[in-house]
Structure 1
């Protein structure tokens, strides 16, 4: 390897990044994405607007209504309006759910009979609707259990529930680790996508054509400066997750660091590959956004667990490195198995394979001549 020539190229890349002010984007974009999406994405449903129609006006119906009034998940409104008028309010998006207590509610319960209640939920957003429905059913069943206990009816089943890994059920704990995978996929790829195509537009690529530098040495000289800069982002994002979003860290920091360095190399290789096959910077940027942002959201496990996917979507998820990296990240932050997990070791090996594959393809596609 021609060490001095490679060093000269590396120095040139650092100088160019400082001169064009792109060095500021190295740290600005990841921080903005993490903060904006970390506070902006919310999966938990709170203060759902629930209209309670009490046609019974009894002591037990009032007790049931009280369960809704003392919950952070609902903003209840008590009314005696008709069902048709309530449905019109839902069509106007003024309420999220309707709970109808029948007129014979207390009487049937006291006689040990089944009392049917009506529940309508706005299903415009299915995930939100299912969550609200679960909250409503849980609240009603809890009220029924309390009423039954007071009436001397012992429940046949007692549930002792514990939530593991995210005991507080915080959105930040579920979202922020996954966002690190998205950030470290998008930001390095965007920057490296401009490295070679920029030289094509300016004509400075002819310096490489005329130099004794090999293709692999040229690509390494392009990767190293951006890799070193984004390696600092690994620690910046870690600090933001711990001290800004207060996400717990239960695993191996060494595993987090090794996996993140490999992942940055993969992201840079994706950007370089795009930079090699394109001729214009705007095309390189658009293509990089499509290749990184869409898989970063759909197949990272942020919004939907990979295990819940079926068919083609499950296969596609395994074709992108973000799934493997995010599994390791969620382990280091929330679970803490570390190197004791064979799956973590396997996924590390797969990440190495992704980097070697992308770098090899880039080396093969890069031509040291005019086309």
Structure 2
């Protein structure tokens, strides 16, 4: 392997990236992704359109109404309408839920008799409905406790790792994993497929350059360029989105560098089976973005998946990387966690396997 040949090829590749302005996209796209998803993907529900029908008209029922009116989670209106009219408002998508406080509610509580409140929630979106149900239950437990009405079971709740329950703390680390999977794979695929599409791949076929020298010159630029994005995304997460960082920065960097190698390996495989830049771009997006959302733990915890989905999740490298990233940002176990070390080893196996298999598909022969 000749270092001088590799240096000459690398110089050519970097000049091509600068000349084609693609180097701007290298740093613009990851930043764009983290901002789009950081602001656009929200798990918290605020300003739910709420109607309260108060038929009790007591001090306690008035306090309940006031509590809902002053909560950021509910946009509350007090109305005197029939239950069926309120249901029609839900059907017409004008409100998200309505609460009925029946006559005699306070009296039943004071006499320790069973007391009921009607809560009707639009279940068109199950996740939203479940979240709103939890919000409403929490509001009533809080109100009743302040009025000295004891529940049969008192819950002393404490949140671990993401104490403030900020969406950004849960989403941004996962978006880093999605970004570092998507962007390097696209660039690596395009750099090789471009040679096929415009015909310059025949220079490689007919020249004395070896396959190893060719692949190094094509894969080192996306690896080095996106290695810088590891630090850029970290800075955005910590200093702009205020995501706490409790773990080992060294673990974050090592895992991210290996993960970028995995992504570059995916791009190499894509370039081997596609012939145009458009097809390479589309295929790269399909095999990175879809698993990135479904099996990365961003939208749903991996442990909550059914048996088949759990197996599928373990087939994708993003699951292993995101576990490490969430640990470095929110937990802080670092190198003391055997699972982190195991997942680090699995990522390393993925990186070498993908690069090796991809190199086998690249033939130094006329097609």
Given the two structures, how large is their TM-score scaled by the length of structure 1?
0.96
Equivalent pair of 2:5/2:213 in contact (CA under 8 Å): no
Alpha-carbon deviation of 1:156?
5.2
In the TM superposition, what whole-angstrom CA distance separates every residue of 1:136-164 from its partner, at most 9, and x where no partner exists?
A: 112122223333x2xxx655544332211
Match of 2:217 in 1: 221
216-225 or 335-344, which deviates more: 216-225
Alpha-carbon deviation of 1:208?
1.2
- Give the distance between the partners of 1:293 and 1:302, measured in 2 at CA: 12
- Give the distance between the partners of 1:20 and 1:356, measured in 2 at CA: 30
Alpha-carbon deviation of 1:19?
1.4
- Give the distance between the partners of 1:111 and 1:229, measured in 2 at CA: 71
- Give the distance between the partners of 2:213 and 2:335, measured in 1 at CA: 33
Equivalent pair of 2:184/2:222 in contact (CA under 8 Å): yes
- Give the distance between the partners of 1:212 and 1:120, measured in 2 at CA: 74
Match of 1:49 in 2: 49
- Give the distance between the partners of 2:311 and 2:211, measured in 1 at CA: 33
Of 174, 185, 191 in structure 2, the residue corresponding to residue 189 of structure 1 is: 185
In the TM superposition, what whole-angstrom CA distance separates every residue of 1:31-56 from its partner, at most 9, and x where no partner exists?
A: 10111111111100112111101112
Matches within 5 A, 1:147-166: 147=147, 149=148, 157-166=153-162
Alpha-carbon deviation of 1:5?
1.3
Matches within 5 A, 1:284-323: 284-323=280-319
In the TM superposition, what whole-angstrom CA distance separates every residue of 1:66-97 from its partner, at most 9, and x where no partner exists?
A: 32123221121111100011111111111111
Quick check: 1:334 aligned with 2:326? no
In the TM superposition, what whole-angstrom CA distance separates every residue of 1:180-214 from its partner, at most 9, and x where no partner exists?
A: 00111111111111111111111111121123333
- Give the distance between the partners of 2:70 and 2:94, measured in 1 at CA: 21
Alpha-carbon deviation of 1:276?
1.4
Alpha-carbon deviation of 1:361?
0.8
SS state of the match for residue 313, structure 1?
A: helix
Quick check: 1:212 aligned with 2:212? no
Structure 2 unmatched ranges of 5 or more: none
SS state of the match for residue 346, structure 2?
A: helix
Quick check: 1:365 aligned with 2:361? yes
Equivalent pair of 1:195/1:272 in contact (CA under 8 Å): no
- Give the distance between the partners of 2:292 and 2:173, measured in 1 at CA: 13
- Give the distance between the partners of 2:80 and 2:97, measured in 1 at CA: 15
- Give the distance between the partners of 2:338 and 2:210, measured in 1 at CA: 38
Aligned alpha-carbon RMSD (Å): 1.3
Quick check: 1:233 aligned with 2:229? yes
Quick check: 1:274 aligned with 2:274? no
Of 209, 233, 241 in structure 2, the residue corresponding to residue 245 of structure 1 is: 241
Quick check: 1:174 aligned with 2:170? yes
- Give the distance between the partners of 1:92 and 1:86, measured in 2 at CA: 10
Alpha-carbon deviation of 1:3?
1.3
- Give the distance between the partners of 1:292 and 1:6, measured in 2 at CA: 29
- Give the distance between the partners of 1:10 and 1:252, measured in 2 at CA: 33
Match of 1:75 in 2: 75
Match of 1:107 in 2: 107
Alpha-carbon deviation of 1:9?
1.3
Given the two structures, how large is their TM-score scaled by the length of structure 2?
0.97
Alpha-carbon deviation of 1:266?
0.8
SS state of the match for residue 193, structure 1?
A: helix
Structure 1 unmatched ranges of 5 or more: none
Match of 2:6 in 1: 6
333-342 or 307-316, which deviates more: 307-316
